[in-house]
Copies of this chain bind each other. A is one copy, B any other.
Amino acid sequence: MYRRDLVVRTRGRSFTELTPLVSEVIAAAQVQEGMCHVFVPHTSASLLFGENADPSVRGDLERFMERLVPDGDPAYEHDAEGPDDMPAHIRTVLTQSSAMLPVSRGRPGLGTWQGLYLWEHRHAPHERHVVISVW
């Protein structure tokens, strides 16, 4: 098993595509056929497999989540770090902290229109750890 713990700098609430990073780690692991696991050890940023062609998909996803889990909802008791604190935890629970994909011919076995994204849910930029395991 090959493992890398990497740091991704986010620019606040937004998506960062991780597919190139995952490709690099798989290449370094020299695995042709196997599995790749990606883990985010945070509770206010998460992972998703999403459409990678049209940026408006990510815009619509963000708008959908802002409507479903509004910032500053008076129903939240937990707001120690601000109006986006509890929404970030809920968004993480509704998406993924852990993602797994096949490795095929030494590359991520994703679909043509599929990418792996880190979704930063806090408004402020953060340094996020991404733990990638390949076997």
Contact = CB atoms under 8 A, between A and B. Distances in A.
Interface string A92-107: 1111111111101000
A19 to B, nearest CB: 13
- The main secondary structure of chain A at its interface with chain B is mixed
A133 interface: yes
Contacts of A94: 94-95
- The 8 lowest CB-CB distance pairs between A and B, nearest first, are A41-B111, A49-B97, A56-B78, A56-B77, A43-B51, A98-B100, A60-B76, A57-B78
29 contacts: A1-B35, A3-B33, A35-B37, A37-B102, A39-B101, A41-B114, A42-B111, A42-B113, A42-B114, A43-B50, A43-B113, A43-B114, A49-B92, A50-B89, A50-B93, A51-B89, A57-B78, A59-B77, A59-B78, A60-B78, A60-B89, A64-B69, A64-B75, A93-B95, A94-B94, A98-B100, A98-B101, A100-B100, A111-B129
